[in-house]
């Protein structure tokens, strides 16, 4: 039974799902050195934001197949190291959207009406009404930085509260922004015109310290900033100084450059700042959502099924993946075949997408072909996660060509591998029942299903050659399941494809190559 380590607090419903297929160990609050020590025994790791999955943890996780982040941000996981090792990293992109958006709105209102401080004051026995005169958000301008899932929900609710909306998101269309009643503007204008600025972007090299002293200098003295996205997007020292000097009116932060927050100039500030300990996703509903979402994906991957929200596998909706699955199988089979035919060091792989395949999203097909190409050499060490990286590291140039006019089959795929030992090309297609057919070899037409063990020859089309090969193999007790010849002209060059029941030993292959008329021969195990 596979073993799953749950190293952060996860809702029980997730543990129950994992327990259907695995032994689940819950060990939270582990120091990094202890995690490195115990990780080798686990097939999967499930975390929230508390566990840092460093390259050391990933290297030590010899059996790890999947890391599941019960939440959105995967910045506590070294995704590059995981990808290199072929470990799938999954998250829950939508499970806590509403929770994080509602926390943002709560922060905005708390800040505007000084609720946290007024609450504390009242609880201490005071009746201070003068110190807590706030502001309305109605008719004020909210600048949304990042109009993704959370940003969009915040914008929708803020609009219903009568706010005017500006948005900055270079990856969102004007139409989408208009749908949300947001005016897309440049960041500088958003800084200058907003009464409230809310951040809903990931932390990336581009967004680190996006809100710094220079950005704050562009804002109005009445501006209030809310960050329920990621720590490190705001320069906390610059923010504390700006608040102290009254350059802006307030800030509400749920996330920090370093968590837990510890000592910080922010904690010494008064009612102009509201701080929460990364509570954006902390609702019962969100915790159930993310636990179910991620536990189901871990369960599926442990059962050999695809994950629906892998962050390091090209994004494909599950329904599209289901649709493309037979073609992925075709690409993998042809990649494996052409890799073995080419042998040696592969320099380039040309992927020809024909017919309906030419109009499809090609990235998954390319990855499947590369996985197949490398699988003979790397066996199970290559998978959908790391196939592209492995190919790149081996200097394999990938060229894609498309020809929608080829209509022999609904869709067909031609792979041409060029390497140190020469160039080979195979084409394949799917029959009506999604059965794979190899439809050409080095441009010679054939029509054979792939078989576990196969023998391919390049030869001269002449009388007796089929008989000679048949007798030779029979003499060595090799059982032939099927045989087919492909040629373009009579008595010209030709190919022969034999499906055989067992792998062909090298000494017999050498005998095949000696048969009169045979130019070359190759064995393949698929
Ligand atoms: N506080 C919490 O507990 C909590 C909970 C959930 C999510 N989050 C964080 O909230 C953030 C947003 O999450 P989401 O689910 O809305 O993500 P999302 O991917 O749906 O949206 C992110 C948006 O940011 C935009 N973006 C990326 N780079 C940008 C840039 N340089 N400038 C402007 N826009 C940029 C993208 O185009 C996208 O529209 C993430 O950082 C996530 O980790 C925090
Ligand atoms: O696990 C949490 O509570 C935080 C989650 C949040 O930061 C996220 O990115 O989804």
Ligand nearest to the CA of 155: 1
- Domain boundaries defined on the chain: 3-94+286-315, 97-275, 316-450, 452-526
Q: Is the pLDDT of residue 58 over 80?
A: yes
Angle, alpha carbons 43-19-320 (nearest 5°)? 70
Ligand nearest to the CA of 99: 1
Structure tokens at 411: 């869709």
Instruction: Give the whole-angstrom CA distance, residue 148 versus residue 151.
Output: 5
Structure tokens at 66: 């999947």
- Identify the pLDDT of residue 500: 97
Predicted TM-score (pTM) of this structure: 0.77
pLDDT in tens, 62-107: 999 999 999 999 999 999 899 889 899 999 999 999 999 999 999 9
**CA neighbor of 198 nearest in space, from 165, 244, 232, 162:** 165
Q: Is 366 helix (H, G, I), strand (E, B) or coil?
A: helix
Instruction: Give the whole-angstrom CA distance, residue 91 versus residue 276.
Output: 23
- Identify the pLDDT of residue 325: 83
* Average of per-residue pLDDT values in the chain: 94
pLDDT in tens, 335-389: 999 999 998 889 999 999 999 999 877 888 999 999 999 998 887 778 888 898 8
Residue written as token pair 């390049």:
458
Residue written as token pair 């699955």:
325
Longest dimension (CA), the chain: 108
Ligand nearest to the CA of 229: 1
Percent of the chain, pLDDT > 90? 85
Helix spans in 274-317 (H): 284-302
- Identify the pLDDT of residue 306: 75
**What's CA 174's distance to the chain center, in Å?**
26
From atom 3 of ligand 2, which residue's Cα is the shortest distance away? Answer: 281
> In Å, how far are 103, 195, 239, 479 from 251, measured between CA atoms?
14, 12, 8, 78
Question: Is-contact 493 460, C-beta < 8 A?
Answer: yes
Structure tokens at 152: 């969009």
- 232-255 average pLDDT score: 98
From the CA of 254, how far away is ligand 2's center (Å)?
11
**CA neighbor of 104 nearest in space, from 11, 236, 224, 266:** 224
Question: Is-contact 424 416, C-beta < 8 A?
Answer: yes
Q: Is 122 helix (H, G, I), strand (E, B) or coil?
A: helix
Q: Is the pLDDT of residue 274 over 60?
A: yes
From the CA of 10, how far away is ligand 2's center (Å)?
12
- Identify the pLDDT of residue 318: 56
Instruction: Give the whole-angstrom CA distance, residue 17 versus residue 368.
Output: 29
- Model confidence band, residue 24 (pLDDT cutoffs 50, 70, 90): very high
Ligand nearest to the CA of 253: 1
- 497-511 average pLDDT score: 96
- 443-462 average pLDDT score: 96
Angle, alpha carbons 182-185-188 (nearest 5°)? 135
How do strand 224-227 and strand 250-253 relate by DSSP bridges?
Answer: parallel
CB-facing half-sphere around the CA of 337: CA atoms within 13 A: 32
From atom 43 of ligand 1, which residue's Cα is the shortest distance away? Answer: 73
Q: Is the pLDDT of residue 442 over 70?
A: yes
DSSP per residue, 352-420: EEEEGGGGS--HHHHHHHHHHHHHHHHGGG--TTTHHHHHHHTT-EEEEEEETT--SSSEEEEEEEEET
Ligand 1 atom nearest to CA at 207: 31
From the CA of 138, how far away is ligand 1's center (Å)?
25
Residue to mutate, 69, 148, 168, ligand 1, most ligand atoms under 8 Å from C-beta: 148
From atom 5 of ligand 2, which residue's Cα is the shortest distance away? Answer: 71
> In Å, how far are 32, 77, 78, 81, 329 from 54, measured between CA atoms?
9, 6, 5, 8, 33
- 446-475 average pLDDT score: 95
Residue to mutate, 52, 67, 72, 260, ligand 2, most ligand atoms under 8 Å from C-beta: 72
**CA neighbor of 168 nearest in space, from 152, 151, 148, 185:** 185
Q: Is the pLDDT of residue 314 over 70?
A: no
CATH fold, domain 316-450, is 60s Ribosomal Protein L30; Chain: A; (3.30.1330)
- Beta bridge pairs of residue 67: 45, 89
- Identify the pLDDT of residue 376: 84
Q: Is the pLDDT of residue 25 over 70?
A: yes
- Sign of the CA dihedral running 122, 126, 127, 130: negative
From the CA of 150, how far away is ligand 2's center (Å)?
12
CATH fold, domain 3-94+286-315, is Rossmann fold (3.40.50)
- 169-174 average pLDDT score: 89
50 CB under 6 A from ligand 1? Answer: no
Decide whether 3-94+286-315 matches 316-450 in CATH topology: no
pLDDT in tens, 414-441: 999 998 889 999 999 999 889 999 999 9
Structure tokens at 277: 């300990």
- 270-274 average pLDDT score: 98
pLDDT in tens, 288-304: 999 999 999 999 999 98
From the CA of 200, how far away is ligand 1's center (Å)?
4
With a CB cutoff of 8 Å and minimum separation 6, the contacts of 75 are: 202, 203, 230
Q: What is the ipTM of this complex?
A: 0.99
Structure tokens at 497: 């494809």
Helices then strands, each counted (H, E), the chain: 17, 22
From atom 6 of ligand 2, which residue's Cα is the shortest distance away? Answer: 71
Percent of the chain, pLDDT > 70? 98
**CA neighbor of 518 nearest in space, from 478, 473, 459, 441:** 459
From atom 39 of ligand 1, which residue's Cα is the shortest distance away? Answer: 148
229 CB under 6 A from ligand 1? Answer: yes
Tell whether domain 97-275 is in CATH 3.40.50.720. yes
Per this entry, what is the length of the chain?
526
Structure letter (DSSP) for residue 359? G
Active-site residues, by number, are 230, 259, 278
Q: What is the dihedral of CA 59, 64, 68, 72, to 10 degrees?
A: 30
Question: Is-contact 233 209, C-beta < 8 A?
Answer: yes
pLDDT in tens, 177-217: 999 999 999 999 999 999 999 999 999 889 999 999 999 99
From the CA of 281, how far away is ligand 1's center (Å)?
13
Instruction: Give the whole-angstrom CA distance, residue 201 versus residue 146.
Output: 5
Q: Which residues line ligand 2 (CB under 6 A)?
A: 48-49, 71-73, 96, 278, 280-282
From the CA of 2, how far away is ligand 2's center (Å)?
26
147 CB under 6 A from ligand 1? Answer: yes
- Model confidence band, residue 320 (pLDDT cutoffs 50, 70, 90): low
Instruction: Give the whole-angstrom CA distance, residue 18 versus residue 4.
Output: 8
Class of domain 452-526: alpha beta
Ligand 1 atom nearest to CA at 75: 43
- Identify the pLDDT of residue 237: 98
- Identify the pLDDT of residue 520: 95
Structure letter (DSSP) for residue 456? E
């Amino acid at each position: 039974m596979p073993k799953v380590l749950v190293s952060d607090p996860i809702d029980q419903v997730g543990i129950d799902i994992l327990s259907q297929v695995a032994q689940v160990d819950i060990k939270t609050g582990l120091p990094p050195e202890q995690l490195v020590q115990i990780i080798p025994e686990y097939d999967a790791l499930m975390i929230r934001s508390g566990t840092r999955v460093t390259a050391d943890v990933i290297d030590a996780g010899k059996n790890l197949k999947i890391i599941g982040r019960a939440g959105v941000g995967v910045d506590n996981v070294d995704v590059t190291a995981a990808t290199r090792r072929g470990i799938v990293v999954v998250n829950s992109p939508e499970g806590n959207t509403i929770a994080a958006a509602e926390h943002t709105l709560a922060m905005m209102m708390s800040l505007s009406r000084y609720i946290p401080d007024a609450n504390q004051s009242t609880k201490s026995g005071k009746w201070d009404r003068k110190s807590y005169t706030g502001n309305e958000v109605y008719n004020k301008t909210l600048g949304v930085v990042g109009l993704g899932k959370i940003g969009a929900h915040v914008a929708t609710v803020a609009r219903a509260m009568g706010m005017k909306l500006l948005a900055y998101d270079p990856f969102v269309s004007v139409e989408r922004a208009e749908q949300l009643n947001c005016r897309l503007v440049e960041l500088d204008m958003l800084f200058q015109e907003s009464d409230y600025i809310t951040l809903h972007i990931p932390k990336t090299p581009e967004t680190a310290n996006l809100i710094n002293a220079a950005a704050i200098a562009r804002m109005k003295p009445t501006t209030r900033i809310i960050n329920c996205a990621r720590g490190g997007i705001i320069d906390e020292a610059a923010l504390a100084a700006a608040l102290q000097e009254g350059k802006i009116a307030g800030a509400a932060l749920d996330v920090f450059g370093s968590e837990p927050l510890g000592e910080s100039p922010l904690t010494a500030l008064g009612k102009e700042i509201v701080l929460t300990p990364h509570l954006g996703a902390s609702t019962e509903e969100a915790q159930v959502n993310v636990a179910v979402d991620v536990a189901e994906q871990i369960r599926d991957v442990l059962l050999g099924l695809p994950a629906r929200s892998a962050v390091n596998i090209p994004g494909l909706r599950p329904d599209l993946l289901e649709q493309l699955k037979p073609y992925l199988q075709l690409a993998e089979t042809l990649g494996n075949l052409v890799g073995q035919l080419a042998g040696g060091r592969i320099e380039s792989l040309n992927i020809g997408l024909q017919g309906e395949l030419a109009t499809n999203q090609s990235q998954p097909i390319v990855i499947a072909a590369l996985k197949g190409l490398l699988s003979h050499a790397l066996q199970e060490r290559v998978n959908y996660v790391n196939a592209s990286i492995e190919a790149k590291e081996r200097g394999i140039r990938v060229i894609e060509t498309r020809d929608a006019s080829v209509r022999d089959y609904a869709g067909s795929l031609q792979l041409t591998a060029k390497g140190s030992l020469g160039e080979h090309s195979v084409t394949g297609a799917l029959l009506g029942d999604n059965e794979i057919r190899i439809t050409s070899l080095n441009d010679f037409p054939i029509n054979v299903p792939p078989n576990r063990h196969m023998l391919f020859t390049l030869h001269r089309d002449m009388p007796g050659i089929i008989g000679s090969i048949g007798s030779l193999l029979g003499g060595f007790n090799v059982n032939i399941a099927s045989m087919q010849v492909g040629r373009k002209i009579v008595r010209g060059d030709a190919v022969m494809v034999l499906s055989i029941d067992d792998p062909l030993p090298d000494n017999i292959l050498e005998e095949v190559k000696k048969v009169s008329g045979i130019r070359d021969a190759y064995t393949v195990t698929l």
